A and B are shown apart, each in its own frame.
Chain A
Amino acid sequence: MSERCAVVGVGQTHHVKVRDDVSLAGLLREASIRALEDAELDWKDIDSVVIGTAPDSFEGVMMPELYLADALGASGKPIMRVHTAGSVGGSTAIVASHLIQSGVRERVLTVAFEKQSEGDTTWGLSGGRSGGVGAGGYFAPHIRAYIARSKAPEYVGWMVAVKDRLNALKNPYAHLRVEDISLEMVRDSPMVWEPVRRLESCPASDGACAMVLTNEKGGDAASKPPAWVHGTAMRSELGQFPGRDPVNPKGGQDCAADVYAQAGITNPREEIDAVECYVPFSWYEPMWMENLGFADLGKGWTLTEDGVTALDGDLPVNASGGVLSSNPIGASGMLRFAEAALQVRGLAGEHQVEDVRTALGHAYGGASQFFAMWILRAAKP
């Protein structure tokens, strides 16, 4: 690898249910301009653009990079469009980082988005014509299997929901804000997909996230502290076949092992200070804690129960409020990557975790079969 990669700019929109005051292009520009301002760079400084979003049918625009090229200042530049299902926001950031690390480009703008209000996402998630179950319906059996295996008490799911919703109150960009959230309120919220209750589920959001990535020269020149990329990894596995474990997918384990090895991490629980991981339904926090090697098999839920994953815990998970609080699907993975960057840069504001030197950004997609992860540090690799 010929170049180091630094995250020097992060921008996002205020994620809400409906952004009918802006077009798709307007939404992406809002996040992009914030990222450029954070990086103290201008459109003309960018030499390549990489965008990502979930299926085109969510908004009804086929290959939107074509239409968005003008708004993203891409004319005369290369622009690419990544699509790896729910992990796409993470994969997009990784593709952008590879352009830097390969030495092919020097300053890349990467943007991920979803404007769910322009389409019918649950229709799309259900495979269009098949209609019906949505993501929650698909993942609920995996969650039930996890609970059966681990014998986790049912309040663990409620605890995750309360924690992430409290964190969201500290994040001005978070969509769902439930000021008086409590375990009782989560417990009493309607059952949507057994055992997932309404307040344990992510909202449908309009939103975009953007980052500016540069090479070492750009990272050194940045006036705000950059986040340095220490590892990136993607893994994909077949969605359906006997012997596959969708509760603790091998793809996720392999991806984590790869990204830790690149960053020289041998004990993730000790060496990682903050995690932004893709938790669209509360129970995915304990499930991913095990899959990512932060807890022994069947013990992920104890991290939640013991408050380890809380904002003031030993391993804060989703200090931003996570996907449970904001879910512009295509952008949700990039938000995890970007929030990890904010944490190591010390720029996360009210939801800043103390003294973060190393952070993990995580995204997954499809039938828990696509994974994207990166490790960021305040220090150079």
Chain B
Amino acid sequence: MRDVAIVSFAQAPSLAAVDKTETQMLYPVITSAIERSGLGRKDIGFTCSGSADYLAGAPFAFVSNLEATGAWPPISESHVEMDGAFALYEAWVRLQHGDVDVALVFSSGVSSRGNLREILCLQNDPYYLMPLWADHVSLAALQARALLDAGLAKESDLSEVAARARRNGQANPNAQVSGDVTADELLSEPYLVAPLRPSDCPPVSDGAAAVILVAGERARDVCERPAWIRGIDHRVDPHYPGVRDLSTSASAALAAANAGVADAPIEVAELAAAFSHEELILRDALGLGDDVDVNPSGGALVANPMMVSGLIRIGEAFRQINEKGKQRTLGHATSGPCLQQNLVCVLEADS
């Protein structure tokens, strides 16, 4: 495989309701990612984005996002109806060809335009599950219950995760919720959907992010401390919640194995755990020990723009190497109800 590195990352602050169009929100983010890379728009050989029409409530919503890339003259470009982390995967594959060296990856999601708990019901099997209107919070609660019933966690463990996320969020200017709270304080909240309390659930967020990938030696030319993609893989589980053991994540474990997570110690992991129990399931599935710093940004519990959250995790994992001097970090993305699909990206600094 050709070595590919992340050399820059930018994100918009996650907001409960952005007062701009998706394109307007994206433009400064893309511009910033490009400027930070020291490269120009003309250097970009491939562009790939991720978004979901349904969030914007309009078919072909992604088309207008092309405006934010300035696609003239015409660009070599593709789009996935998925989290931007999967667009990053596609761009990484594209860079393996060797004919282009630089890729722009971006994603955006404006969840405030509709009712997320209604909209995400449409991700379910349209014939058998969707008519039940089982929303993503309720399905997450089923998974949390499975974890508790299996004796793998207590409710206080969930609140510990939620409290740490809020405390970490205090240092993250892009966080939507944060605070110096304890697990005990959060445990006193009434349930939202038992056994999940409001603090166990993510905020509804609007946001955008962009990443520049550079292949080969050129990455070192443009970036003082690039983060090399040492392993990247994604896997999916069966769709029906009843088919799989919800207390664990087979697809996350498989993706981690294929991405070589266990090959060397991970210092920091940014996990797209939008619900507190998901962090516990993912820690276990990815084989992350207690010594791994998980979600120092606060993670998806403090800012969760749909279709962007995963790309932000990889971006934060990049920042840990690029800005904080870490050697080996992990970014994770997920899609679908109950962590159905998982992507794992292992980043390394030059040793």
Contact = CB atoms under 8 A, between A and B. Distances in A.
Contact of B236 (A2, A57, A60, A74): A74
Nearest to B251: A76
B57 interface: yes
Interface string A13-30: 000000000011000000
Nearest to A85: B60
B122 A60 contact: yes
A10 interface: no
Contacts of B81: 56, 63, 81-83
B96 A83 contact: no
Contact of A57 (B47, B53, B62, B96): B53
A133 interface: no
A66 interface: yes
B125 interface: yes
Contacts of B122: 56, 60-62
B243 interface: yes
A95 interface: yes
A67 B124 contact: yes
A309 B1 CA distance: 43
B335 A57 contact: no
A61 B120 CA distance: 10
Interface string A42-66: 0000000000001111111111011
Interface stretch (B69-77, B152-160, B169-177, B201-209): B69-77
B325 interface: no
Interface string A203-237: 00000000000000000000000000000011111
Interface stretch (A123-131, A139-147, A290-298, A319-327): A123-131
Contacts of A118: 126
A2 B98 CA distance: 9
A128 to B, nearest CB: 5
Contact of A104 (B59, B70, B77, B93): B93
A99 B93 contact: yes
A136 interface: no
B18 to A, nearest CB: 20
Interface in B233-251: 233-240, 243, 250-251
Contacts of A369: 63, 66
Interface in A79-106: 79-85, 91, 94-95, 98-99, 101-104
Contact of A250 (B74, B124, B236): B74
Given A69-B340, A83-B79, A57 B72 contact: no
A80 B80 contact: yes
A366 B123 contact: no
Interface residues of B, number: 62
A6 B341 CA distance: 28
Given A67-B126, A80-B82, A128 B238 contact: no
A366 B63 contact: yes
Contacts of A98: 90, 93-94, 96-97
B77 A235 contact: yes
B238 A75 contact: yes
A58 B60 contact: no
Contact of B74 (A77, A101, A103, A235): A235
Contacts of B296: none
A132 interface: no
A234 B335 contact: no
Nearest to B130: A61
Contact of A82 (B79, B237, B341): B79
Interface in B169-188: none
Given A67-B126, A78-B234, A62 B239 contact: no
Contacts of B106: none
Given A99-B93, A101-B97, A238 B76 contact: no
B290 to A, nearest CB: 28
Interface string B73-109: 1111111111000100110011011110000000000
B320 to A, nearest CB: 25
A77 to B, nearest CB: 7
Given A62-B52, A77-B236, A82 B80 contact: yes
B275 interface: no
Contacts of A63: 52, 54, 81-82, 123, 335-336
Interface of A: 1-2, 23-24, 54-63, 65-70, 74-85, 91, 94-95, 98-99, 101-104, 118, 124-125, 127-129, 233-239, 241, 244, 249-251, 254-255, 258, 366-367, 369, 371
9 contacts: A63-B335, A74-B236, A95-B78, A102-B93, A104-B1, A128-B58, A235-B75, A244-B72, A251-B74
Given A60-B122, A98-B97, 19 more contacts: A2-B96, A55-B59, A56-B52, A57-B59, A59-B126, A61-B126, A63-B82, A75-B237, A76-B235, A78-B235, A78-B236, A80-B80, A83-B80, A95-B93, A104-B93, A128-B57, A234-B76, A236-B75, A244-B72
Interface of B: 1, 47, 52-54, 57-60, 62-64, 66-67, 70-82, 86, 89-90, 93-94, 96-99, 119-120, 122-127, 130, 233-240, 243, 250-251, 254, 335-337, 340-341
